[in-house]
Homo-oligomer: A and B are copies of this chain.
Amino acid sequence: MDLHIVIDPAQPRGEQLLRQLRGLIRSGRLATGAQLPPTRLLAEQLGLARQTVAEAYERLTLEQLIEARRGRGSFVRALPAAEPETPPVAPPRFASAARIAAFEQLPVPLLRFVDNPLARFDFVGGSPDPALFPHEDWRRHLHAAQRQLGQGSAHASPGGLPALREAIAEHVAYARGVRCSPADVIVTQGAQQAFDLLVRVLVGPGEVAAVESPGYPPVQALLQAQGARIAPVPVDDEGLVTDALPAGARLVYTTPAHQFPLGVAMSAARRRALLAWASREGTVIIEDDYDSEFRFEGQPRDSLQGLDGEGRVAFVGSFSKTLAPSLRLGYVIAPPALREALLNARHLTDVHGPLLLQSALARFMQEGAYRRHLRRCMAEYARRRERLMAGFAGPLAPWLRLLPAEAGFHQAALFKPGLAMDAPQLAALARRVDVGLYPLQVFAPEHNGLLMGFGRVTPEGIDAAIARMADLLS
């Protein structure tokens, strides 16, 4: 007997074999009472391991489609009651239909834009250069962490490994003027999880949350999912316009070091006004410090958290911009009064993160490799920033104005008024010459400009891309 079975070696083999055997039996091509080939024979015929065939037979036996007769082989049994092979046409009815639909309609796909580089010269924001990743150092610390950790089955604290919490506390005190102890640090799965925990603990449905406008879409989507009333607050060249803050907000989300997306830094006066307002209103301030470890000019500005004498600023940081987003490591420095609530929320969400990566990062930081890496990145991004600024001051000056930014690895550029082309048109054209541009309109419809990330373009690439942009515009 020669069964008609075709195995695609690029797909899981056992599953293909099982599916086709099932099909042959259910369709009747292998009729009741028919004998299946011995496992060794079928394995040879299909180029499979004998174990794979044996496991498929075992499975079909469990499904009561075949039976083993001792010393004689495997035989097809009488067919069980028909089972639907195709999914139902009408989707099932759910009591939660409205809620499911609300989650389906969240503006999430917008945020998936870094999945694939868009072009050879890709000015995507928020993405570090993979070529700068410290592979050798990282691999060494990862392997050491693996050897030491083994895979004990113990759960750990939802706040993360003590060694990593200590290293982060030291880093933010040093680099960002944050006042904290290791106990205040909660290691998170990237900054996004920190925002999620804070939103859960602070905002119920119908309650007010203030955000910067234009601002960071993932936080707005989170608040929308939670049913919060979102109060957008404008941003000008001193950052968040504190006079426009709403009453009764449970939280305010802000990016004082490097406003997302416009890039401006919040002035000292606005910082004081924001802290005073939050104290009057009983509001928690979420300070998103996503990429301000890269500081290029201006007087160093410490974090809002460092200015806060009351314990109402939650400082959120990330290793996605300084190392790699695929590590999924970030943190929140929790105000003491929120710490237990946030740890409980983290415990309920996913208990804690994988220990191996936490342990590797702790070693990497403790041994100074993180600071060395930051210095190296800093020097490289400073070169890129200079090329970008030169390009906007030179070839692109007739059309676009670069907004100032002291820190971070993107800057915003606004079209000068009265031009025939707008940012989405330019972006569409630029893709044809292999330049990836990102209109600011994604973040706020009233802004006609571009978000110019320089994390993924070399200095030479920036020069080349700017020449191409200038060609398109003229």
Give the interface of A toward B (CB within 8 A): 11-12, 14-15, 18, 49, 51, 55, 59, 62-63, 84, 87-88, 91-97, 99-101, 103-104, 106, 108, 111-112, 114-116, 127-130, 133, 135, 138-139, 142-143, 146, 149-157, 166-167, 169-170, 173-174, 177, 188-190, 192-193, 196, 200-205, 207, 218, 221-222, 225, 227, 248-251, 279, 281-284, 300, 302, 309-312, 323-329, 335-338, 340-345, 347-357, 366, 368, 371, 455-456
User: How many copies of the polypeptide does the oligomer hold?
Assistant: 2
Nearest B residue (CB) for A147: B139
Contact A130–B106 (Cβ < 8 Å): no
CA distance A97 to B62 in the complex (A): 55
Q: A108-B348, A151-B135 are in contact. Are A96 and B328 (CB under 8 A)?
A: no
Specify which chain B residues have a CB less than 8 angstroms from the CB of A202 in the assembled complex.
94, 96, 99-100
Option from B143, B146, B155 in Cβ contact (under 8 Å) with A112: B155
Contact B133–A139 (Cβ < 8 Å): no
CA distance A98 to B338 in the complex (A): 12
Q: Which 7 A-B pairs have the closest CB atoms?
A: A103-B341, A189-B350, A95-B282, A193-B350, A151-B324, A15-B170, A12-B170
Specify which chain B residues have a CB less than 8 angstroms from the CB of A347 in the assembled complex.
108, 111-112
Contact A281–B95 (Cβ < 8 Å): yes
CA distance A97 to B204 in the complex (A): 12
Nearest B residue (CB) for A56: B174
Contact B130–A153 (Cβ < 8 Å): yes
Specify which chain B residues have a CB less than 8 angstroms from the CB of A190 in the assembled complex.
350-351
Contact A225–B196 (Cβ < 8 Å): no
Contact B201–A100 (Cβ < 8 Å): yes
Contact A309–B84 (Cβ < 8 Å): yes
Contact A155–B115 (Cβ < 8 Å): yes
Contact A114–B155 (Cβ < 8 Å): yes
Nearest B residue (CB) for A150: B135
Contact B103–A344 (Cβ < 8 Å): yes
Nearest B residue (CB) for A336: B87
Contact A279–B155 (Cβ < 8 Å): no
Contact B200–A116 (Cβ < 8 Å): no
How far does the Cβ of A464 sit from chain B's closest Cβ, in whole Å? 21
CA distance A133 to B151 in the complex (A): 7
Specify which chain B residues have a CB less than 8 angstroms from the CB of A129 in the assembled complex.
153
Contact B94–A282 (Cβ < 8 Å): yes
Q: A55-B174, A177-B63, A326-B149 are in contact. Are A99 and B311 (CB under 8 A)?
A: no
Nearest B residue (CB) for A175: B59
18 contacts between A and B (CB under 8 A): A15-B169, A51-B368, A92-B335, A94-B284, A95-B248, A95-B281, A96-B207, A99-B201, A100-B341, A128-B153, A135-B151, A152-B326, A188-B350, A189-B189, A204-B227, A325-B351, A326-B354, A354-B354
